[in-house]
Structure 1
């Protein structure tokens, strides 16, 4: 396919079928993410072929993924020159606590620190009064 970028759209099952890929490195980048799903980080997969000088059917295709694809991509070879990559797109959000959740957490943490400070102040004043009475 060369260095040309191609756009593919998944079917109703969320699948894309690409035929005729030669051995080499290919980069996958998700350009549109459905609402409620995390965007898959860009990753590279490499196709290597071994045993090409052997009888037909005895050659092997191997697919490896880059670090960004590990944990997201699994592959299986069904023989006959076909390799299936499965990309796991996860639901949810990878955003930090912001908005109401972030504000609530900040208020709780701030209140806890304030309570600890007030308790320490009361204790230290009590100890100072007791030492003055002696």
Structure 2
């Protein structure tokens, strides 16, 4: 017979003798701030904003690519730009890449692309690249990971 003062036995095993710790909800905790959602991607060149999550991801990937344009304000100057797929230059595009590894440099637009079609780096672009550690060795373009010599 069961004792009248005993609690009824549970079918579940009790693993601890102490009561469970109270659950603390972070939303109620003092000083808790809700995480801010990331801002929608916006192209710095055309100011277009992503309209969907997929477009946001694509736009962020596109805008990691640096483009070099001739600078109309400075003869023999270079203008840096980042573009989304909607405002990327549609004409010929040249690329810069290391001859020894898969390191890619900026893409070349407008006259720079036309000038690089023969396999040569335009002088203004070569100067810009040299300022960032790139160099030419026996006609081959090398990234900053490869020492000159």
Report the TM-score, using the length of structure 1 for normalisation: 0.26
More strand by share: 1
More helix by share: 1
Report the TM-score, using the length of structure 2 for normalisation: 0.24
